Amino acid sequence: MSEYLMAAARHYRPGLLGRDYVIPQAQGLKGCYLDWFGMPDVRLQVTALYLYQALLDFPFNSLLDVGCGTGTLTNLLAAVHHNSSILGIDRDEQAIAYAKKLADQNHLSNARFQMQDLESEFPAGAYDIITCMAVLQFIHDPEALFQNIYRALSKDGYLMMQVPRLSKTAYLMKSSKAVKRLPEFHEARGAFGDDEIIALLTQSGFEIVRMQPIIKSASILAKEVFYLLLSIHPKLIFVLCPLLNRLTAFDERYAGEGQGLFIIAQKISSAAA
């Protein structure tokens, strides 16, 4: 691949999550809007940014997406890595049904989805990469989940994950009135400290390859505006989506404390999980 094409492939833009990732596939002005500006969800955009770019550096034949939700990002990965087999699992039956329809709509034969409660069962197999994006805060026993992930990874396989990070950085959410407008996420626990997540991974048999703060500076403000608009009226986010999504697309360049962590960890085959 030429250097130009390689650079183009690595360039993440919000519009990657365009008209193909809604059901039914968007047409007309709505389709153009999505292709230009992407889906109006800054949370999804930040997750897509880091995972999309990281996977370009880690070739794989098989990938398991743990807690795939509606499969939007999972299907994007299947479209980009069309020669790889990808399985998405989630305990939400409606989310899995949507993910399957999305895969069928886009003719992604390499993407499969199945309903599974991560805390009571785990798929067998040997996956080159397992992703776990913004899921760990919903798990009551993270250590048990890491042990299951360890067993399901192939020799020297990689875990890629995103977790909320303990942080005091906030702008609009410094106001208690603003905080009350946040949606109820029904999380099992709060954010993770850096030392805590490092200990959990190393004790489970992983070596951390990369750990970087995410959702920084302008992205924090974009996230807060997104939640405030969502709490007033869902359609309001479409007005500022072009700006908010654009801000998050440059999150890697921002400095300062992050509200999340993106982590790549490798399975140490000799470790006993």
102-150 pLDDT per residue, tens: 999 999 999 999 999 988 889 988 999 999 999 999 999 999 999 999 9
The reported pLDDT for the residue numbered 181 is: 77
As a whole number, mean pLDDT of residues 9-33 equals 92
Q: pLDDT band at residue 174, thresholds of 50, 70 and 90?
A: confident
Examine the pLDDT at 5 and tell me if it is beyond 60: no
Examine the pLDDT at 6 and tell me if it is beyond 50: no
The reported pLDDT for the residue numbered 183 is: 80
Examine the pLDDT at 204 and tell me if it is beyond 50: yes
Examine the pLDDT at 176 and tell me if it is beyond 80: no
**Residue boundaries of the structural domains of the chain:** 3-267
The reported pLDDT for the residue numbered 75 is: 97
The reported pLDDT for the residue numbered 9 is: 61
Examine the pLDDT at 154 and tell me if it is beyond 90: yes
Q: pLDDT band at residue 206, thresholds of 50, 70 and 90?
A: very high
Examine the pLDDT at 155 and tell me if it is beyond 80: yes
As a whole number, mean pLDDT of residues 27-38 equals 96
Examine the pLDDT at 234 and tell me if it is beyond 70: yes
The reported pLDDT for the residue numbered 271 is: 55
What CA dihedral angle connects 44, 46, 49 and 50, to 10 degrees? -110
Examine the pLDDT at 226 and tell me if it is beyond 60: yes
Q: pLDDT band at residue 8, thresholds of 50, 70 and 90?
A: low
Mean pLDDT rounded to a whole number for the chain: 92
As its CATH architecture, domain 3-267 has 3-Layer(aba) Sandwich (3.40)
